[in-house]
Structure 1
Amino acid sequence: MKVAYIKPFFIAALIILADQIIKIWVKHHMYIGEEIKFMGNRGMLHYTENNGMAWGLELGGDLGKLALTLFRIVAVCGIGYGVVHLVKHKYHRGLIMNVSLIFAGAMGNIIDSTFYGVIYNYAPIFHGRVIDMFYFPLISGYFPKWLPFWGGEDFIFFRPIFNLADSAISIGVILILLNQKRYFKHETVEESSINSEMVEE
């Protein structure tokens, strides 16, 4: 396997390692709700734990939590298989790299939800919580009173608290969406050639 195709796996491994190092440091050096500011009020570490899906959504009870974790495991296995498939069939290197970012991010959060409950003795296996810490409330203010539904309410951009794994997933998805024409150009050309040959016959 060429070095160019080994690189995505190496970067994915580094992201998973860095993500876990940051989470473990936060877990052992901060208390939930504590903030360490490094950009004043515009950027900080804010320790929180996510018990469910993105945006704090949850599936009901212990059974819902178990189902969510198992779904994540199945999903990350599928993504991992996808990366191997892309490498074997020599897809665009950018696509392989971005799918690897998504894989690394998903794997990083699965480690939390699968093992952290057992490691930190607060829940059985598959029932752990995902640790989040990066918070960038860059803009804050109030919606105009004339605005329907949200008029007069406060707003913060960017409100979500996230971790390195979340960032890897977001970057991978965004880059795939922005570059999909370039990533899948080769496959489109091949399909067009096949269709042309069939018409000629």
Structure 2
Amino acid sequence: MSLFKKSVALITLLLILDQALKIWIKTHMMLGEEFSIFGNWFVIHFIENNGMAFGMELEGEWGKILLSLFRIFAVCGIGWYLYDICLKKAPLGLIVSIALIFAGAMGNIIDSAFYGLVFNDSFYQVATFLPKDGGYASFLHGKVVDMLYFPLLEGRFPDWMPIWSGEHYIFFRPVFNIADSYITIGVSFILLFQRSYFVKNK
């Protein structure tokens, strides 16, 4: 099996894991519901967002469309780059890293493009797949499902600290999904091992 076919198989597996968890969350929980996996340190907390990784977003309807189109163009570019480095037999670590980034971006595109069409909303109800009255949004206007929450530390900043004096804090506050994790891991690997990934031929 070629490197590219192996990378496609890896991406397919990663997407199945990502979408399986998101669909389970969407069809078994209402927005805001949560349950503990590992004490208070690892919690499944169901939220949805309109935008980028870790809940960031562009405001307004046009912001949503622009973000969705940017994602699609970015995934096409990443896919072409992955194919190219596979043909050139790039280091396996780089191929895996790009495959992770591609799978993460693709996983969130699926939510944004199709979840609004195939699910109703999750406000005060568990969503239904292919509801009779149609979905909650049009194509490219779906929301990304997030659920992974790691509030590892919680407390208050000391009174002597400037700016945040006495304020309540939680670390790590963002709620994210598996696709976000793929992107973070892929980018981190590239940054950590770039010298071995991008060795120039003499």
Distance in 1 separating the partners of 2:96 and 2:155: 38
Among candidates 131, 137, 146, match of residue 151 of structure 2? 137
Distance in 2 separating the partners of 1:152 and 1:79: 44
Q: Is the 8 A contact 1:5 1:93 kept in 2?
A: no
Provide the alpha-carbon RMSD of the alignment: 1.3
**CA distance 1:84–1:5, shift in 2 (3 Å):** closer
* Equivalent runs, 1:171-182 vs 2, <5 Å: 171-182=185-196
The number of residue pairs the alignment matches comes to 187
Distance in 2 separating the partners of 1:78 and 1:172: 16
Q: Does 1:18 align with 2:14?
A: no
Q: Is the 8 A contact 2:54 2:180 kept in 1?
A: no
Give me the TM-score of the superposition, normalised by structure 1: 0.89
Query: Shift of the alpha carbon at 1:5?
Result: 4.6
Aligned to 1:80: 79
Distance in 2 separating the partners of 1:55 and 1:104: 16
Q: Is the 8 A contact 2:54 2:176 kept in 1?
A: no
Secondary structure of the corresponding residue to residue 38 of structure 1? strand
Aligned to 2:168: 154
Query: Shift of the alpha carbon at 1:10?
Result: 1.1
Runs of 4+ in 1 over 6 A off after TM superposition: none
Aligned to 1:59: 58
Matched residue type, 2:154: S
Distance in 2 separating the partners of 1:35 and 1:110: 24
Query: Shift of the alpha carbon at 1:169?
Result: 0.6
Identity %: 53
Matched residue type, 2:103: A
Q: Deviation string for 1:169-201 (max 9, x for gaps)?
A: 11101011111111112xx2x1xx3xxxxxxxx
Q: Identify which of structures 1 and 2 has the higher relative contact order when contacts are C-alpha pairs closer than 8 Å and 6+ apart.
A: 2
Query: Shift of the alpha carbon at 1:54?
Result: 3.0
* Equivalent runs, 1:1-201 vs 2, <5 Å: 2=2, 4-120=3-119, 121-185=135-199, 188=200, 190=201, 193=202
Distance in 2 separating the partners of 1:159 and 1:183: 32
Unaligned runs of at least 5 residues, structure 2: 120-134
Distance in 1 separating the partners of 2:138 and 2:4: 38
Q: Deviation string for 1:121-178 (max 9, x for gaps)?
A: 1111000100000111111111122222111111111111111101111110101111
Aligned to 2:126: none
Per mean C-alpha deviation after superposition, the further-off stretch among 86-95 and 144-153 is 144-153
Matched residue type, 1:62: E
Q: Is the 8 A contact 1:114 1:128 kept in 2?
A: yes
Unaligned runs of at least 5 residues, structure 1: 194-201
The structure in which a higher percent of residues are helix is 1
Give me the TM-score of the superposition, normalised by structure 2: 0.88
